[in-house]
Amino acid sequence: MIFFKLAIRNVFRHKRRTILSGLAIGIGLAVLIFRDAFILGMNYGLIKSATNTFLGQGQIHARGFRDTFDVENTIHDLTPIEEGLKTEPRIKSYTERTQAFAMVTSASDVASLMLYGINPKTEGDISQIK
């Protein structure tokens, strides 16, 4: 109890120092809250941009495809997967895609790239690619 009385007396005795300390703590807290909100908003924007542009909310690959990206390692029979996707109430839309490594050459340069094959009829339901 004596510490509380001493603290209250010190606060009222040094008003300017108390106000400056309170302002410093308040400004520091406001900056931290703003920084946290800014980082969360930026993270949300990056994720939304990536999923709306091309990635989508989920992907289904043949087992081992992501390890090698081998064109031969594809899902050969899509019928059971499509039936499962159509009957799942949480899935609004889906589309088929294929991806493979490719190389583009010109007379002066060579560049490697990831080549995507899309289904133009259903791609517009998933991504911003029209």
Question: For 69-100, how does the pLDDT look when each residue is reduced to its tens digit (9 = 90+)?
Answer: 777 888 888 889 889 988 999 888 888 888 88
- Coil, helix or strand for 94? coil
Confidence of residue 130 (pLDDT cuts 50, 70, 90): low
- For residues 3 and 25, the model is more confident at 25
The pLDDT assigned to 44 comes to: 94
The pLDDT assigned to 95 comes to: 86
Amino acid, single-letter form, for residue 18: T
For residue 127, pLDDT beyond 90:
no
In a domain, 82, yes or no: yes
Domain containing 78 equals 58-123
In a domain, 129, yes or no: no
Same domain, yes or no, for 62 and 119?
yes
- For residues 5 and 56, the model is more confident at 5
Mean pLDDT computed over every residue of the chain: 87
Report the pLDDT averaged over residues 31-50. Answer: 94
Question: For 105-121, how does the pLDDT look when each residue is reduced to its tens digit (9 = 90+)?
Answer: 999 999 999 888 888 88
In a domain, 30, yes or no: yes
Same domain, yes or no, for 39 and 65?
no
Same domain, yes or no, for 63 and 102?
yes
Retrieve residue 43's tokens. 């993270």
CA distance 93 to 58: 11
Same domain, yes or no, for 30 and 76?
no
Same domain, yes or no, for 62 and 118?
yes
Q: What's the pTM?
A: 0.55
Cα–Cα distances (Å) from 71 to 4, 18, 91, 118, in that order, read: 74, 69, 27, 15
Our count of domains for the chain comes to: 2
Same domain, yes or no, for 41 and 83?
no
